[in-house]
Structure 1
Amino acid sequence: MAGSRLPQQLFLQGVAAVFMCAFASLYMQIPGLYGADGILPARRMLRPQGKGRWRQLWETPTLLWEAPLLGLDTAQGLELLSLLGALLALGALLLRRLRHPLTYLLLWAAYLSACQVGQVFLYFQWDSLLLETGFLAALVAPLWRPPHHKQAPHEDLPFWLVRWLLFRLMFSSGVVKLTSRCPTWWGLTALTYHYETQCLPTPAAWYAHHLPVWLHKLSVVATFLIEVAMPLLFFGPVRRLRLVSFYSQVLLQVLIIITGNYNFFNLLTLVLTTALLDDAHLSVHCDHSRRRRTPASWPKTVLAALGLLLELGVYGLLAYGTICCFGLEVDWERHSVESRTTFTFHQFSQWLKTVTVPTMWLGAASLTWELLTALWRWTQVRGWLPKLVAATELCIMGAATVALFTVSLVPYSYVEPDSHSRLWTGAHRLFNSVGHLQLASSYGLFRRMTGVGGRPEVVLEGSYDGNQWTEVEFMYKPGNMSQLPPIVTPHQPRLDWQMWFAALGPHTHSPWFTSLVHRLLQGKEPVIRLIQNHPARYPFYQRPPTYLRAQRYKYWFSQPGEQRRWWRRQWVEEFFPAVTLGDPTLETLLRQFGLQDKSPPRVRSTTNTLAQSLHWIREQLTPLDTPTLLWGLLAATVALRVFQALWGPRSARSSAPAREEKPQLSPKKDSGSASKPSTPASESGSLRSRASRKKK
C-alpha cells in the first residue's frame, strides 16, 4: 500500500498557508467590524453572567475571556490573536519543526475564539470548514519525527478523515443544488446567471458569462458529475480512480478561482484534495527502470488486469449515466452539445434516500480497512517497548478517528431527512455535546441561484443638504459601472460580502446595516476604511454626511459592444430611507436591534506596553491594501521556500567532504556477508588513477 507522508506534509503546509491568509485578512478589518467604533463591537458578545470560569469557557470557548488580564479590551485581544495566529501559521509554513500538533491546535483555538465574537461577519461555511480542517491538522501533524524509512502504524488514520471531509463537502454541495428545487439548476441554466450574480466576480467572469448557452449547460452537467458522482471514487480500491477524481476536483476549484473571488475557500478545498494522493504520485525519485526489470508475478498480473477492467467499467458507467441522466446529444449542424435533465425530483429524492445510508457504510468500511491496515503495521513493529508505544498511539488515534467520524455523520445526514432521523441516537448525543466546538459542520454551497432577473445591489448615497446626493463606492463590490471587477483572493472583504446578502431582502433582515449607516453618519474612520482604504476616494472623509440613504439597483454585465463599461444597471426601489443623526427612524431601528451604546467602552490605560505595541503595528499596516499584503506574504514565503530548497542541498554537500576526511575503522569483511561496503569517491578516483599509471 502506497504511503502518504508527502501528501500529509503538503496538507499541513497548505493548512498553515490558509490560516495565515485568514488571520491576516481578518486582522485588517477588526477595527471597522469589531472595534469600539465598529459596526458590531465585539465587547457586546463577552459579558460575564456570573458563571464559573471553566463553565463560561466551555459554553463560549474563546481565549478572549483572558484579554482583560493583559490590559486589553475584546477588540484588542482579537487583534493580538490574529497577529499571533498569522505569525504562527507563517512559522509552520516555513519550518517543518513547527508542523506540530500543538501548533495546529493553537491555530484552531485562536480561530474558534474569533468566531465566537465574529457574529454575522464570521458565519460563512468556509469559516466552519477551516475550523474543522484545522482540528484535523492537529491530529495529522506528527507528534515526533520517526526515521524516514519507518512509518508509524497510526499515521494514515487521521489523514483518512481529511478524505472523508472532502467527500462530505463535495457530495453535499452537489446534492443540495437539486434538493433545493432551484429551476436554474434543474434546467441546467444556472451558469448563465452565476458569473454576474456571484458576490465578487473577477474580470474573467465577464468573459465566461458571454460563452454560448449550450456550453454553460454542459458545464452544469460537468459540475454535477464532479460533485455528485466523482466523490464516490474517493474510497475506490483502484489507485488510478482516486487520482482521476483528484484531478477532476482540482479542475473545478481552479475554474472557480479564475472566475470568482471566494477568498480562501477554494484554496482550502485544494488543500483537502491532497488526501487523494500518495507518495508514489508525488515523489520524483521513483526508480521506474528497476520496476521494469523486475518481472511481475502472476497474482500481481491478475490483480492488475482486474483493476484495469474495474477502472474501465467505472468510466463506462459514468459516461453512460451522464448521457442518460442529462440527455446529451451532439448537434452537428450547430456545432454544439444539447443537454437536458431527464429525471424528476421524485426520482432524485428516491435515489438520494437509497444512497445516503450506504455512503455512510462505505465510509465506515473504508475506515475499517484503514484500521486493519494500521493494526497489521503494528504487528510488524519489533521490540517490546516500541510495540507498546505504537499500541498506545494506535489506540488513541484510532479512538479519536472513530469518534470524529461518528460525530460527522450527524451534519452529513442533513442532506436527506429520513436518513437523519434513522441515524444512531448515540451519534446525535455525541454531536450535541461537542457541537459548539465546530468539530464537524454541514455543507452545501450554491444551493439556489440568486439574481435570476438581475443582480440586486445596494448603493449607499450621502448628502449635506438632502437634495444633491453622492454615491459611496466600495473598494470591491460592484457600484461604479466603469470599474473593473477586482481580484482579491485570498482576502475576504467581509462587509462587501454582507452587502451582497443584504441586497437579497429588506434591510430589516440585516440589522447590522443600520449600524453601518449610524457609524458613517458619525464619521467613524475604522468603518470608512472598510469602504475605501484611501481617504481621497471616500467623498465624505473630510466631513461626515448629514443624510444617508440606500437605493436598490439591478446590475447586469455589459454587452461586448459597449465601450469602457463592465456593468449596466436599473433602479428598482429605495432600500433604506434617508436618515440623519437623531432621526426617530434611525433611533427606533437601533433600539429595536439592540445596537445602541448603552454602556460606553472602558478607557484602558495608555501606558500598557502591549496595547501601545498593538497600536503601533496597526498604524504601520493600516495604509496597506489587504490583497497586496496577503500576496506579498505568500510571495515572500515562496521565495524563502525556494531559497531553502536551493541552499539546503548545497550546504549539505559542502559539509560532506569534511565528514569523509575523518578516518573510520571498517570491520573485516565476513565471508557470509551479502552487503558490499561502499567506496568513497576520493578513494575510487585514486584507484582509477593508479590503474591508469600501471597501464602506461
Structure 2
Amino acid sequence: MGWFSAPEYWLGRLVLERGVAAVYLIAFLAAALQFRALIGEHGMLPIPRFLARQSFWRAPSLFQLRYSDRLFAGVSWLGAALAAAIVAGAADLAPLWAAMLGWLALWVLYLSIVNVGQTWYGFGWESLLLEAGFLMVFLGNDRVAPPVLTLWLARLLLFRVEFGAGLIKLRGDPCWRDLTCLYYHHETQPMPGPLSWFFHRLPRPLHRVEVAGNHFAQLIVPFGLFAPQPIASVAAAIVVITQLWLVASGNFAWLNWVTIFLAFSAIDDSSLARLFGTPGHPNWSAPPVWFAGPVIAFTGAVLLLTYWPVRNMLSSRQRMNMSFNPFHLVNTYGAFGSIGRVRREVVIEGTDEERLTKHTVWREYGFKGKPGAVGRLPRQWAPYHLRLDWLMWFAAISPGYAQPWLVPLLQRLLRNDRPTLRLLRHNPFPETPPRYVRAQLYEYRFTTWRELRDDHAWWHRALIGQYVRPMALPTAASQHHR
C-alpha cells in the first residue's frame, strides 16, 4: 500500500495536529471559564431548559444523559487536559489506537458542548474546529506515515473554507466587487484589535489592493492546493500569509488559526526545509490494515457528504457557516458577505440613585473586548473567544439578536451576579449592586490622526438613543426593547 502513505508530509502533519490540539485547548478553557453565566443552570440561556425541548438526534451531547454545572466544568477541564497532553506530544508517544481514541474523545467532548451552547456557540469556527478535529482521528501519529487520503481531506476542508468565503463575498455586498469594503471593515468588524485603527487609516488605494488580494487568495489560490509540488506548498503559503494579515487586523477567535494549520496539509517537508531546515522523519513500516480500512471508509463518507456544501456553494442563494448534520461534519463556510458602513455599540450603564431624574449619574460597565471607553485601545484576544462581547456586536445591529439573553444579562447585573461579572472588565458597582441599569445605543467611529493626537482617543462616539429603558429588579419582567 505504498500509495496510501505520504512520508514527505511528516512535519506538516506535526504542525497540523499540534495546532488543532492547541485550538481545542483554548476552546475548552473558554468553555470552562464562561459557561456558568451564559448557559449554566442559572445562566442567561440555561442548558436544562434547552435540553427539555431537544431530542438526542437533534442535539447529540453527553449532557442529554444528565446535566449539572459540575459535570459541564468536568467535561471542559477534561477536554483541556487531554488537548494539552496532545500539544505536549503525548499522542505521538502512545500506540496508534490510543492516539485515535484521544482525538475522538476530544471531538465528542467538544461536540457535547457546542450542541448545547445555543446562540453563544452559533459561530462557524465551532463547526470548523469540530470538522478539523474529527479529521485528526484519521491522520495517525508517529507510529505510521501520514495517510495521503486524510491529507487530501484536510486540503478539501481548507478549500471549502477559503473558496466558500470568496464566493459569499463576490455574491454579496457590492463593495466587494468595487473593491471598497475595506474602507469600512476594519472599523465596523465585530471586535477590532490593537492594530485595527492603523489598518483603517491606511491609504484607500491600498485598501482596494487588499480587497483584490483577498479575492485572489480565496477564489484562485485554493485550486493550487490540489496541484503538484511545489505549487501546492506555494498556494498554502499564500493562505498562511493572508490569514496572518487577518490575525493582525482583528479578533476572529480561532477561525484564522485553524485555517493556517490546515494549510500545512499541503506543505511538504522539502519546501519547509528550504526555509527552515527540517529533521529527518522516522522510518515507518506499512500501515496496519485496521488503520487503513477506516481511513479509506472515512474518505468515502466525507466525499459523499461533500455533496451538500458543494451544492450550497454553487447555489445563487449560498448560505454562510451552515452544518448539514448535528455532528458538524463536512460543513459549509463563509464570512462577511455584507459589510456594515456604520459601527453601533450597545453601552450598558447603571446607577445607585433611588429616583431617576434628568440629572441622574449613570456609570458605564466595561467589557473586555468590545469597544467602550473611547480612550481605550482595543486589545488582542484571538484565538481566545469572548462570547458575550461578540453577541453584543450582533445586538447593536438589531435588537432581535439580543432578545433571548439581554434582559437576563441586565437582571444579573442588578444582582451583581459573580459569574456574570467575571465576563466583564469593569464593574462600576463593586460594593453593592446598582438600583437601575439601562442600555444606550451609540454610533462609534475611529478617530482621525489629528483627533488621536489632540484628544488621545481611539474612538469618537455619538448617542443615537435608548436601547433598553431603565429597569430595576422588581419590574424586570415588564421590561422590553424599545
Q: Where on the TM-score scale, by shorter chain, does this alignment land: which range?
A: 0.7 to 0.9
Structure 1 portions without partners, runs of 5+: 50-55, 68-72, 288-380, 421-430, 593-696
- Deviations along 1:324-355, whole A, 9 cap, x unmatched? xxxxxxxxxxxxxxxxxxxxxxxxxxxxxxxx
Between 1:503-512 and 1:574-583, the stretch displaced more is: 503-512
Find 1:244's aligned residue among 234, 237, 251. 234
Instruction: Work out the CA distance in 2 between the residues paired with 1:512 and 1:45.
Output: 13
Mapped contact 1:263–1:492 kept (Cα < 8 A): yes
Look up the equivalent residue of 1:249 and give its one-letter code. Answer: V
Aligned in 2, Cα 1:23/1:285: closer, same or farther, shift over 3 Å? Answer: closer
- Deviations along 1:551-599, whole A, 9 cap, x unmatched? 111111111112311100111121111111132xx41468x9xxxxxxx
Instruction: Work out the CA distance in 1 between the residues paired with 2:56 and 2:175.
Output: 45
Find 1:481's aligned residue among 374, 391, 399. 374
Say whether 1:6 aligns with 2:2: no
Instruction: Work out the CA distance in 1 between the residues paired with 2:297 and 2:42.
Output: 47
- Deviations along 1:210-242, whole A, 9 cap, x unmatched? 111001011100000000011111111x31221
Instruction: Work out the CA distance in 1 between the residues paired with 2:160 and 2:308.
Output: 11
Mapped contact 1:557–1:567 kept (Cα < 8 A): yes
Find 2:93's aligned residue among 85, 93, 97. 97
Name 2:461's counterpart in structure 1.
569
Name 2:72's counterpart in structure 1.
78
Aligned in 2, Cα 1:216/1:418: closer, same or farther, shift over 3 Å? Answer: closer
Say whether 1:470 aligns with 2:382: no
Say whether 1:279 aligns with 2:269: yes
Instruction: Work out the CA distance in 2 between the residues paired with 1:441 and 1:494.
Output: 21
Mapped contact 1:553–1:571 kept (Cα < 8 A): yes
Mapped contact 2:197–2:446 kept (Cα < 8 A): yes
Say whether 1:235 aligns with 2:226: yes
Instruction: Work out the CA distance in 1 between the residues paired with 2:36 and 2:183.
Output: 38
The correspondence of residues 35-50 of structure 1 with structure 2, limited to 5 A, is 35-47=40-52
Instruction: Work out the CA distance in 2 between the residues paired with 1:2 and 1:220.
Output: 37
Say whether 1:438 aligns with 2:328: yes
Mapped contact 1:159–1:275 kept (Cα < 8 A): yes
- Deviations along 1:603-646, whole A, 9 cap, x unmatched? xxxxxxxxxxxxxxxxxxxxxxxxxxxxxxxxxxxxxxxxxxxx
Q: Which has the larger radius of gyration?
A: 1
Look up the equivalent residue of 2:14 and give its one-letter code. Answer: Q
Name 1:20's counterpart in structure 2.
25
The structural deviation recorded for 1:413 is 1.9
Say whether 1:522 aligns with 2:410: no
Find 1:213's aligned residue among 204, 211, 230. 204
Name 1:449's counterpart in structure 2.
339
Look up the equivalent residue of 2:345 and give its one-letter code. Answer: E
Instruction: Work out the CA distance in 1 between the residues paired with 2:303 and 2:175.
Output: 34
Mapped contact 1:520–1:527 kept (Cα < 8 A): yes
The correspondence of residues 295-310 of structure 1 with structure 2, limited to 5 A, is none
* TM-score of the pair, normalised by structure 2: 0.88
- Deviations along 1:665-693, whole A, 9 cap, x unmatched? xxxxxxxxxxxxxxxxxxxxxxxxxxxxx
The structural deviation recorded for 1:74 is 2.5
Look up the equivalent residue of 1:214 and give its one-letter code. Answer: P
Between 1:99-108 and 1:35-44, the stretch displaced more is: 35-44
The correspondence of residues 662-681 of structure 1 with structure 2, limited to 5 A, is none
Find 1:543's aligned residue among 432, 450, 459. 432
Q: Report SS of the residue matched to 2:8.
A: coil
Find 2:252's aligned residue among 262, 268, 283. 262
Mapped contact 2:391–2:402 kept (Cα < 8 A): no
Say whether 1:132 aligns with 2:131: yes
The structural deviation recorded for 1:509 is 5.0
Aligned in 2, Cα 1:510/1:9: closer, same or farther, shift over 3 Å? Answer: same
Instruction: Work out the CA distance in 2 between the residues paired with 1:411 and 1:178.
Output: 17
The correspondence of residues 207-606 of structure 1 with structure 2, limited to 5 A, is 207-236=198-227, 238-283=228-273, 284=277, 390=289, 393-417=291-315, 435-450=325-340, 452=341, 454-465=342-353, 466=356, 467-506=360-399, 510-532=403-425, 537-562=426-451, 563=453, 564-583=456-475, 586-588=476-478
The structural deviation recorded for 1:411 is 2.0
The structural deviation recorded for 1:59 is 4.2
Name 1:377's counterpart in structure 2.
none
Q: Report SS of the residue matched to 2:75.
A: helix
The structural deviation recorded for 1:57 is 4.2
Look up the equivalent residue of 2:361 and give its one-letter code. Answer: Q
Q: Report SS of the residue matched to 1:4.
A: helix
Q: Report SS of the residue matched to 1:235.
A: coil
Instruction: Work out the CA distance in 1 between the residues paired with 2:140 and 2:58.
Output: 28
Instruction: Work out the CA distance in 1 between the residues paired with 2:65 and 2:316.
Output: 44
* TM-score of the pair, normalised by structure 1: 0.62
Instruction: Work out the CA distance in 2 between the residues paired with 1:121 and 1:286.
Output: 43
Q: Report SS of the residue matched to 1:443.
A: coil
The structural deviation recorded for 1:2 is 6.7
Mapped contact 1:507–1:513 kept (Cα < 8 A): no
Mapped contact 1:24–1:86 kept (Cα < 8 A): yes
Mapped contact 1:37–1:524 kept (Cα < 8 A): no
Aligned in 2, Cα 1:508/1:178: closer, same or farther, shift over 3 Å? Answer: closer
Instruction: Work out the CA distance in 2 between the residues paired with 1:188 and 1:277.
Output: 31
Instruction: Work out the CA distance in 1 between the residues paired with 2:279 and 2:116.
Output: 49
Aligned in 2, Cα 1:569/1:405: closer, same or farther, shift over 3 Å? Answer: same
Find 1:163's aligned residue among 155, 158, 162. 155
The structural deviation recorded for 1:543 is 1.5
Mapped contact 1:413–1:419 kept (Cα < 8 A): no
Aligned in 2, Cα 1:412/1:189: closer, same or farther, shift over 3 Å? Answer: same
Q: Report SS of the residue matched to 1:438.
A: coil
The structural deviation recorded for 1:6 is 2.2
Q: Number of residue pairs matched?
A: 452
RMSD between aligned alpha carbons? 2.4
Mapped contact 1:199–1:500 kept (Cα < 8 A): yes
The structural deviation recorded for 1:134 is 0.6
Mapped contact 1:253–1:270 kept (Cα < 8 A): yes
Name 1:642's counterpart in structure 2.
none
- Structure with greater helix percent: 1
Instruction: Work out the CA distance in 1 between the residues paired with 2:102 and 2:82.
Output: 7
Mapped contact 1:64–1:113 kept (Cα < 8 A): yes
Mapped contact 2:230–2:271 kept (Cα < 8 A): no
